[in-house]
Structure 1
Amino acid sequence: MIYREVAQNRTADVVVAQVESLILDGVLRPGDRLPSERELARALDVSRPILREALDDLAARGLVESRHGGGTYVADVIGEVFRQPVVALVRSHPRVQADYLAFRREVDAIAAGLAAERANADDRALLRGILERLDEAHAAGDVQREAELDVEFHLAVSDCTHNTVLLHTLRACYRLLADGVFYNRALLYGEADCRDRLHAQHHAVAEAILAGDGAAARAAAAAHMDYVAAEVAARQEADARAAVSARRRAVAEARLDGPRGGRGPALGLTETTAPGGRRGRTA
């Protein structure tokens, strides 16, 4: 149980402070459901009126929220790195992906190094558990599950840093990754060779952290992000070439199938009749 009995000064402020710490430390994530009022009051050893006062205070400050159908949940305290209009711009300008991946390379390396230096027994147990699940998904060829565990793996590494600012900064970055804002992880996991390489890289990062080798962990994390950046760039280039080839083929086939010796309408244009009987062309 993550909640501790309130030994003395059983006031709403003490309950609020405990829940705040759980959110700040990353123990409770956005969307996590709190126990029922009865269960939580029993776990904290406080009266239900005091608990209600604490929950009202947390809700007023935007840390928890009640949802339709019942239950109290941790609110979206991470927020957005970018507002939605900027996210739309990012999606339409793939070159920003390179900036994101460059940022991730540096920050992920710092996180891995700190994780190796600061991880305790519980942190290492969690990391091993995620690694085992990654192994199972990889062996089963479950691409979707492996992509989901990819995010969980990086979240666990950030937890191991025991640096609150770094933890929440990375969680905001990984949300963009999970939402596919910068690139589609499923495409990377869709190719066997790429999946194998990513899997081996995750193992290299984890093994360095578990061994307490900060330098090796930083190097492994940087190498991992270098590989991801190279793969994403290669796929963007291939997609661009494919788009050009598709257009070239369409125009070539239209030219080959057009009237022989005739001038006909321009390729890619359709003849129209303008007001007054004049003929024109539109795309």
Structure 2
Amino acid sequence: MSAVFSNIEHGRTSDAVVRQIEDLILEGVLRDGDRLPGERELAQSMNVSRPVLREALKALEARGLIVSRQGGGNYVANVVGEVFSTPMRELIASHPKATADYLEYRREIEAIAAEMAARRATEADRQMIADIIQRMEMAHAAGDFDTEAEIDVEFHNAVGECAHNFILLHTLRSCYRLLSDGVFQIRARLYHLPGAREALLDQHRGIAEAICGQDPEAARKAARAHIDFIIQASAEAERADDRERVAQLRLRQRFRDRKPASPDPGNERKTDEEHS
């Protein structure tokens, strides 16, 4: 972690420390929940005194960018998660139309992100994308649904990072937070459709190849096609769920109709009396 911090050569003030840490958060290098190095290590990495560092950390905490835990160090605050408040997240989760709006938004914004990533990705970015795809393929081959789903979100976050646009990056991160937190059950339903997992893997490969091949137009088309597939497959999964629900209701009704009627105790007594 200390490797991401650099020496402050001039003006070793708390403001300079604050600015460097702010930049790292803004650039997406430091993510929410990341633990900062201890004071001694961080002060050495940035070439400042510990009193200057403490003053900077106090200012960052006052701005809500880091949180200090008693005996546990300093952590980057959950600044991305605050984009959608808890009441809004609950509201989104309880309204089906929100899923359609969410996918519509992703289709447009991810096309932009992929196109920008193809134009701006560095060699290190392309290496990161290739590594993620390799791990996704390994999880897919192993049939590890949970890991594959986690890497899916990681891949889309990485594309946002490769676009090198602060606003786009953090907007996408807040968007994917809803996905990773299970606000939408899109992936779980899709992965059970025949051939869906293979199709999704191929689509991720297509986006990655376009970005690594520095083909903006292909990247934009691949990103849109990916979300179009999800929209179509989600609708099919919903129809399949509805068909299953109706089939189960019919099966229960038929089973109930076939059960023999319970004998009437009164009729049994009457028959016994007639025979006697």
- TM-score scaled to structure 1, two decimals? 0.87
8 Å CA contact 2:118, 2:213 repeated in 1: yes
Shift of 1:249: 2.9
User: C-alpha separation between the residues in 2 aligned to 1:150 and 1:14?
Assistant: 37
For residue 226 of structure 2, what is the amino acid of its counterpart? H
Q: How does 1:168-179 map to 2 (within 5 A)?
A: 168-179=170-181
Report the equivalent of 1:139: 141
Given the alignment of the two structures, is residue 88 of structure 1 paired with residue 90 of structure 2, yes or no?
yes
User: C-alpha separation between the residues in 1 aligned to 2:83 and 2:17?
Assistant: 30
Q: Residues 240 and 80 (structure 1 numbering): CA distance in 2 closer, same or farther, change over 3 Å? A: farther
User: C-alpha separation between the residues in 2 aligned to 1:35 and 1:184?
Assistant: 37
User: C-alpha separation between the residues in 1 aligned to 2:167 and 2:139?
Assistant: 31
1:207-238 Cα deviation digits (max 9, x unpaired): 10111111100000000111111111111121
Q: How does 1:116-265 map to 2 (within 5 A)?
A: 116-190=118-192, 193-257=195-259, 259=261
Shift of 1:135: 2.0
Shift of 1:256: 3.5
Secondary structure of 1:95's aligned partner: helix
Q: How does 1:29-40 map to 2 (within 5 A)?
A: 29-40=31-42
User: C-alpha separation between the residues in 1 aligned to 2:215 and 2:128?
Assistant: 18
Report the equivalent of 1:65: 67
Secondary structure of 2:75's aligned partner: strand
8 Å CA contact 2:114, 2:216 repeated in 1: yes
User: C-alpha separation between the residues in 1 aligned to 2:131 and 2:54?
Assistant: 36
For residue 93 of structure 1, what is the amino acid of its counterpart? H
8 Å CA contact 1:109, 1:221 repeated in 2: yes
User: C-alpha separation between the residues in 1 aligned to 2:132 and 2:221?
Assistant: 21
Shift of 1:258: 6.4
For residue 208 of structure 2, what is the amino acid of its counterpart? A
8 Å CA contact 1:100, 1:182 repeated in 2: no
8 Å CA contact 1:144, 1:186 repeated in 2: no
8 Å CA contact 1:205, 1:221 repeated in 2: yes
Q: Residues 249 and 109 (structure 1 numbering): CA distance in 2 closer, same or farther, change over 3 Å? A: same
Count of aligned positions: 262
Moved more, 160-169 or 79-88: 79-88
1:154-200 Cα deviation digits (max 9, x unpaired): 01100011111111100000001111212242443345621111111
Q: Residues 51 and 97 (structure 1 numbering): CA distance in 2 closer, same or farther, change over 3 Å? A: same
8 Å CA contact 2:84, 2:174 repeated in 1: no
Report the equivalent of 1:51: 53
8 Å CA contact 2:211, 2:219 repeated in 1: yes
Report the equivalent of 2:269: none
RMSD: 1.9
For residue 217 of structure 1, what is the amino acid of its counterpart? A
User: C-alpha separation between the residues in 1 aligned to 2:7 and 2:118?
Assistant: 32
Moved more, 176-185 or 106-115: 176-185
For residue 102 of structure 1, what is the amino acid of its counterpart? E
Shift of 1:95: 3.0
Q: Residues 68 and 231 (structure 1 numbering): CA distance in 2 closer, same or farther, change over 3 Å? A: farther
Which of 2, 6, 27 in structure 1 is aligned with 2:8?
Answer: 6
For residue 93 of structure 2, what is the amino acid of its counterpart? R
For residue 60 of structure 1, what is the amino acid of its counterpart? A
Structure 1 stretches lacking a partner, 5+ long: 263-283
Percentage identity across aligned positions? 52
Moved more, 147-156 or 80-89: 80-89
User: C-alpha separation between the residues in 1 aligned to 2:90 and 2:7?
Assistant: 46
User: C-alpha separation between the residues in 2 aligned to 1:96 and 1:117?
Assistant: 32
For residue 8 of structure 2, what is the amino acid of its counterpart? V
Moved more, 71-80 or 52-61: 71-80
User: C-alpha separation between the residues in 1 aligned to 2:181 and 2:83?
Assistant: 12
Shift of 1:123: 1.2
Secondary structure of 2:67's aligned partner: strand
Shift of 1:81: 4.2
8 Å CA contact 1:143, 1:190 repeated in 2: no
